[in-house]
Structure 1
Amino acid sequence: MAEVTELNRSHFNNEASNYDSKFQKTIQQLTEAILERLDFIGVDWVADEEDGSEQGDGSTHAREVRLLDYACGTGLMSRALAPYTTQCVGVDISEGMVGVYNATAQNQGLSEDEMHAVVGDVTVPEDPSPAALSAPRFFNFDVAVLGLGFHHFADPPLAAKRLVERLRPGGVLLILDFVTHEPIVKRDGHDGHGHGHGHGHGHSHGHGGDKDEGKDKAFHNAAHTVTHHGFSESQMKGIFEAAGAGRGFAFQEMGSGVVFTHGSTKDGSKRRVFLARGEKA
């Protein structure tokens, strides 16, 4: 498990600076699909115009809706749902991704109380409550989200369980990921979505010199961070139930899928994407 974690950390640190520009169209597509499913997600969101209700002493008190964005990356899920929450807390193992997440939030004029990420990992089996994530602000969330990170985990059921532990009773676990799919096969016939063991092939299959070689190297690095080729509805239902968030479980595919390119190749794979949600008992 530690080897998989280090592969993920290294890869996403390298990708952080250009991740949003590289996947701009995909991020926009997914953001729109998420916003179309606010009712499906089932959180009692804060409305755009809601700015607090006046109390008897003349003060105002806004209803809190706190979101935990785990494996937050640069903040796809946080940015999509921030208008409907009062606080987004990001957590990621990649220092580079956390840096981009926080810089983006700051550039949007958001305070650390409104949107801020930290480096951390709740998936270490022998450390259920790491010191970096032990403060009260890392618990009792209304919703815990995980966007396109589930297939990178060595132990997805453990990750789901650890996130549910940080929800308030009735809080919602929300996972965005890929429906079960075949591994990508590169031009040389190798399985392009690696096995999580870090034994990269190190070949370049492009025809554009150093530029293509660099893209293929990045492809192989990404491939070996993948440990699961998507998930079926029945798999996700079992994971949610085992994690303690089986109440109200629902699974919904999002549109016709998204396209991801492979290294220096001009084509890509169209992946079916789902949202799965359930509530902590």
Structure 2
Amino acid sequence: MTDTTAVNQAYFNQLAAEYDSRFEKTVGRLEKEVRGLVDFIGAPEGGRLLDYACGTGLLSRALGDRMSQCVGVDVSESMVELYNAKAKSQRADHRPRGTQGFTPEQRAAHVGNLLDPSDASPTALSDAQFSNFDVAGVGAGFHHFDDAHLAAARLAQRLRPDGGVLFILDFVAHEADPDHGATKGVRHHGFTEAQMRDVFERAGVGRGFEFRVMDEDVVFENARGVGKHMTRRVFFARGERA
């Protein structure tokens, strides 16, 4: 485990219990935005989603009613626990009214790390269920990864050939924030469109690359402590595996 992975794991384990309540407005807004981007993303009806650095399941909740299966992966044990608790209690729109929750086959998260430079194929994530995805997405976690190019390449390997989609929701490049930096696992101060295009192309998922930016900033209330908010402009990037 790299130092950054350990920092991320500790930070998000500590934050997990209050994550959704603290950022409820912003998370809800981002879910709504992603839900409206299914055609832009190219998420096929009945497809399979890899929700990497899944947290409590932002992308799974946004795209889940369109996908037949959502598989979350995160280094934070506490986030995985919350993801699975939410999956068990959330009603799937396509299931009979009164039926609560998704089955583990439909939606479940697992503790794991696909980004260890020394382990390209971790045993815990080697089963068939962890490959051949129609969409692999990262929802606001990409700036926490040590090596953006390695991350994209590892996720691209988990996509189905000839059309599997990598989708990234993250922050447009911004100034360094001394109150929200290395101690919270932040490794990149956002990304430009040119940087993202290079990341996608070098990972072999540059076909059909598109980059969109939200019209307005989003505010993460109390992100730096009580009364200390964080404002960011969010982008959406997608590209296909050749």
**TM-score, shorter chain, exceeding 0.5:** yes
C-alpha offsets along residues 94-113 of structure 1, whole Å, 9 cap, x if unaligned?
Answer: 00000000010011210000
Report the equivalent of 1:178: 171
Cα deviation for residue 174 of structure 1 reads 0.1
In angstroms, what is the RMSD of aligned CA positions?
Answer: 1.3
CA–CA distance in structure 2, aligned partners of residues 7 and 95 of structure 1: 13
Partner of 2:2: 2
Map of 2:97 onto structure 1: none
Deviations 1:15-74 (A, max 9, x none): 111111111001111011112211111222x2xxxxxxxxxxxxxxxxx40000000000
Structure 1 equivalent of residue 38 of structure 2: 38
Match of 1:235?
Answer: 195
Supply the distance in 2 between the matched residues of 1:77 and 1:88 (Cα, whole angstroms).
9
Letter aligned with residue 278 of structure 1: G
Rounded to whole Å, the distance in 2 between the matches of 1:129 and 1:269 is 36
| Correspondence for 1:77 | 59
In the TM superposition, what is the alpha-carbon distance from 1:265 to its structure 2 partner? 5.5
Residues 269, 280 of structure 1: CA spacing in aligned structure 2 closer, same or farther, 3 A cutoff? same
**Distance (whole Å) between structure 2 residues aligned to residue 42 and residue 250 of structure 1:** 11
What is the identity, as a one-letter code, of the residue corresponding to 2:38?
Answer: L
What is the CA distance between 1:254 and its match in structure 2? 1.9
Matched residue pairs, number? 230
Counterpart position of 2:121? 129
Counterpart Cα distance in 2 of 1:262 and 1:163: 28
- Indicate the structure (1 or 2) with the bigger Cα radius of gyration: 1
Percent identity between matched residues is 53
2:73 is the counterpart of 1:100:
no
The answer as to whether partners of 1:161 and 1:244 remain within 8 angstroms in 2 is yes
Is contact 2:179-2:224 (8 Å) kept?
no
TM-score for the superposition, normalised by structure 2: 0.92
Gaps of 5+ in 1: 47-63, 185-190, 197-220
Give the aligned residue type for 2:79. Answer: M
Q: Contact 1:33–1:255 (CA<8 Å) still a contact in 2?
A: no
2:50 counterpart residue number: 68
Question: For residue 162 of structure 1, what is the aligned residue in structure 2?
Answer: 154
